Amino acid sequence: MRIGLVQLNPVVGDIIGNTERLQTAIAQFDAEIILTPEMSICGYPPRDLLCNNDFVRACEQAVLQIACTCPDKLVVLGHPRIDASTGRVRNSASVIYGGEIIEVSDKQLLPSYDVFDEKRYFETGQKICTFTIDETKIGIAICEDFWQGNDADVAPTYDINPVQQLVEEGCKIILSPSASPFVTSKHSSHLQYALQVAQENNVIIAMCNQVGGNDDLVFDGGSFVVSSNGLLGELPLFDTGLITVDLNTVPVEPTLLPSEQEQWKALVLGTKDYVQKTGHSKVILGISGGIDSALVATIAVAALGADSVQGVLMPSRYSSRGSIEDAERLARNLGVCTDTLPIEHLHSAFERTFSDGCHNPTSLAEENVQARIRGLLLMALTNSDGSLLLATGNKSELAVGYSTLYGDMNGAVSVIGDVYKTDVWALSNWVNQNYETCGFSSAPIPENSIAKQPSAELRPDQCDQDSLPEYDELDSVLRLHIDHELGIEDLKDALPVSPERITKIVRMVDIAQFKREQASVIFKTSPRTFGRGRRMPIVMKRSWVNVRETL
């Protein structure tokens, strides 16, 4: 038996375009079974489009259209559907053959943790779905029905196990249409888990995952077929592709990427798809000579090409000559055009206006106004030419509020908003060391941008550590607190950091929530990402008794 995998990059809501791409791909296969990703008809996640019955009906019609145009193919298509008996929407996969739907699988486990909110939209499927080909029983486990939250720290423990139900029903092949968002190193754990399930139950597993960027989520593809003997075939990470896997083939070694390369490819793909799928062709960003803007500019050029990226230098009275030279060197390395818009005139005008009103700005207000002048100029430029503004802040800054609302936080999308500062350095070094892999003829990021002490340069002799702990220490706390939900007491046990410092850092995270609520869309690359993945209250107080002390 041969199984075909269709790893496509859908546009959410583009039912007509997605259907055409699926028809073209399906026509190329000579396989007994053709598997597509979860929600392949409409793209994942469709979010509140699912509240529109016309949208769901159009998806159902598209399934019938493909069935009629590919009558000699057995295809598993992912789509939403309205259940005839309940009138509720379900997350489904239809098996089509001979011009009609022969079976329908409804997802039973609906994730509603992290970035997922499926219980908001879908009714729970009530039973497993199986069908038979040449006396071989085949079952379907849609995404979470197969993964069961084993790839996420915050997932619940489910009361049912659809995979075990399929095995007990006698299925020898399990098909898993998936739309699993990228998190660094997640593909490796997916592959290991699938191999474990295949070996323990002596079954073949075919998983077809969506690829491409949709809003804040990046899907890495990496579809595969495994048996109890090993990996039988796979599709590339972060790219579209088709493959036919003969189930009698000899197992092969998996293609696994270093974590830095995974993260790089995810950010490049997310940037490319966000810009192109929103109908834009150009981006603008401020480049300061610092490492954050240097990395974002490099990602943008890799995603869109140098001609589509505009850098803007906005020196102030506090900008060092070295920073200006680093920004100019970056632009030359990347081949991007730049504008230079000094902010001194606007800064002085602000000071005069404040003074005329008998106001004396604090040092913080004086610093922030410079960032907001830069944000104003950048937004004006995007309005002038229809480009998108890229925000350049990192996750460490967003976590503790070391960022300015309506200033450096401005942007349509935050490219590295889920990358801690220490990872920004690591990724930048990796890019320079692997510049050919990244598509450059030489190391693109100026070495001085990586090596120098980070500074916002909003006052004389300023450096980040005037206001923050050293980034190694800061990020060690933030990773455990944000990505793995450790509270203050657990952090004190886990880290060689003073209790006072831990408490202060967590407090900084809490009081910066109102800023993050107004932040740009952030590409998800870690277990917990600011935005939909971490829904914390703005008005809150950490006032509860340590349970361990009362037991």
In 336-362, where does DSSP find H-type helix? 344-356
Residue entry with tokens 């979010």:
47
241-246: strand order across its sheet: 100-106, 89-97, 75-82, 33-35, 2-7, 241-246
Which residue of the set 73, 107, 421, 515 is catalytic? 107
Cα–Cα distance measured from residue 294 to residue 313, given in angstroms and rounded to the nearest whole number: 12
The answer to whether residue 38 is catalytic is yes
Does 127 qualify as catalytic in the annotation?
Answer: no
Catalytic member of 70, 143, 171, 208? 143
The tokens of 24 are what? Answer: 């073209």
DSSP string, 371-387: HHHHHHHHHHHHHHHT-
Residue 463: active-site member: no
Q: Is there a cis peptide before residue 45, judged by omega within 30 degrees of 0?
A: yes
CB atoms closer than 10 angstroms to residue 381: 17
Burial letters for 213-247: b for 16+ Cβ neighbours within 10 Å, e otherwise?
bbbbbbbbbbbbbbbeeebbbbbbbbeebbbbbeb
Tokens of 176: 């898993």
* Set 38, 234, 262, 457: catalytic member: 38
Q: 29 near 4, Cβ under 8 Å?
A: yes
Which of 157-194 are b and which e, b meaning 16 or more Cβ less than 10 Å from the residue's Cβ? Answer: eeeeebbebbbeeebbbbbbbbbbbbbbebbeebbebb
| Burial category of 252 from C-beta neighbours within 10 Å (exposed 0-12, middle 13-18, buried 19 and up) | exposed
**Which residues are tagged catalytic?**
38, 107, 143
